[in-house]
Structure 1
């Protein structure tokens, strides 16, 4: 992994910046429309993204499959490590059900099934993921898996995840699923794993949605989008050492952006 080097920016150089310590390895707040960076810490350092990867999987799903198209759960898909939806090999679900499973449940088995359905194989889907990443401006992203399960070569950056998130929220199907709290597939109920969704009247604006992620090597990751005074802002935190830090630091950064308060991230 690359050596971390802090890069900090602020909304306005006119006022003295407040120094804010961020525990996560990398973080960024970006305007989704202009791609202007409001704050950043190590935005271009390659890191493991965990299940924030599934944002790209969701983009390819909605651009290649209609809601009622079938997604086949192969033996390889059914054997993917937890977290799984737990469908049996040989079953099928609709693309719309698959989208709910990968965004809300973060189901690794369903993400793998989507990769096989859309790309023919994990390798073929990874090529599609990397091509799409390049088209939306990602410069330091190399996807290997469709679900974010660990692979040493599967890396991206906070800036690139912000670009992918900004792209994902352009699709109403994805946003609708991000905002869904409860769902059921084949008699299996589950809730949305993004805790920010359950906060009433958030202090940072109006939540659009996002995606969490965790592996032991990536640690805790969160990509989140919110409406703020007519702007759409995207926050990304990668490599937070605790889940509580991941949520707290995301909230704080978006609060600073909402108030247009200059900070120096350290």
Structure 2
């Protein structure tokens, strides 16, 4: 009898263990065949970011790509496009009193002077000179308002659907807004012009005895892990925060990266490099 009781008790306990094991197994989720590890996540502090193929406009990565934000001096990419499509390299750009009085950053030319369009292009791209960008607007468009209409028309032709330009230099205006997707489309157009690329890649220049350096730190990176540098444009205002549009060659393709609204300059550069590094490796990544 004792033996039968023992066997019965053993069988009951065995059934309970099997039942518990079965419930436990049902409660554990099945592991994914392609798990996302912590190292596969790209954490972005920027408000908006995108990586796009410049030729096909295929979006590779994006975070809030259609969120309207202030673009700061990435605006000057459109100013550069209109400059090279309307002015020859030696054409004069007149510095008016209004242009000379634009807020910093300025090249610091006196009103009533002229510089060549090629010099103006380098001042706009390399120095991010607000006075020269305004002078380009007056020379090409007749006024800031006329130039803004040209900027917005060109933006529409490029497929930009959330952009409204007011200033030629990106100085703050509440109505002056765009998106990372639209800036990517503008940069993809800008790098088609050899004159603009030459200005983007120039490290040192001098106009009227005023020497300056290219302010884009990405230009000085050697042995990159994200392809061959083409160039781009930085931007900053207190409301826009730090912005960077940058283009590279990857696997025979031109790819453009845009970061808008980064809270620190170091984040702007680091997150641009991180996005382009992932793009170069063609690795699936989760944006956070």
Q: Which interval holds the TM-score relative to the shorter structure?
A: over 0.9
Structure 1 position 262, deviation (Å): 1.1
Q: What does residue range 41-56 of structure 1 map to in structure 2 within 5 Å?
A: 41-56=63-78
**2-structure distance, mates of 1:245, 1:19:** 16
Structure 1 residue ranges without an equivalent (≥5): 1-13
Asked which structure has the greater RCO (Cα within 8 Å, sep 6+), the reply is 1
Q: Is the 8 A contact 1:29 1:253 kept in 2?
A: yes
**2-structure distance, mates of 1:202, 1:219:** 26
Q: Is the 8 A contact 1:142 1:154 kept in 2?
A: yes
TM-score scaled by structure 1? 0.94
Partner of 2:237 in structure 1? 215
Between Structure 1 and Structure 2, how many residues are aligned? Answer: 253
Structure 1 position 16, deviation (Å): 4.4
Partner of 1:239 in structure 2? 261
**2-structure distance, mates of 1:264, 1:114:** 42
Secondary structure in 1 matching 2:182:
helix
Output one character per residue of 1:99-132: Cα deviation in whole Å (capped at 9) or x when no partner.
0000000000000000000000000000000000
Partner of 2:170 in structure 1? 148
Equivalent of 2:157 in 130, 135, 139:
135
Equivalent of 1:167 in 189, 202, 208:
189
Equivalent of 2:87 in 65, 81, 94:
65
**1-structure distance, mates of 2:203, 2:254:** 22
Partner of 1:158 in structure 2? 180
Structure 1 residue ranges (4+ consecutive) displaced by more than 2 angstroms after TM superposition: 14-19
Q: Does 1:188 align with 2:207?
A: no
Partner of 2:280 in structure 1? 258
**2-structure distance, mates of 1:263, 1:146:** 36
Cα 1:131–1:16 change in 2 (3 A) is farther
Equivalent of 1:122 in 133, 138, 144:
144
**2-structure distance, mates of 1:37, 1:135:** 19
TM-score scaled by structure 2? 0.87
Partner of 1:104 in structure 2? 126
Q: Is the 8 A contact 2:63 2:287 kept in 1?
A: yes
Say which structure is richer in helix.
Answer: 2
Equivalent of 1:198 in 216, 220, 223:
220
Structure 2 residue ranges without an equivalent (≥5): 1-32
Cα 1:123–1:15 change in 2 (3 A) is farther
Q: Is the 8 A contact 1:44 1:157 kept in 2?
A: yes
Secondary structure in 2 matching 1:236:
strand
Q: Which has the larger radius of gyration?
A: 2
Over aligned residues, Cα RMSD in angstroms?
A: 0.9
Partner of 2:29 in structure 1? none
Output one character per residue of 1:142-168: Cα deviation in whole Å (capped at 9) or x when no partner.
000000000000000000000000000
**2-structure distance, mates of 1:16, 1:157:** 32
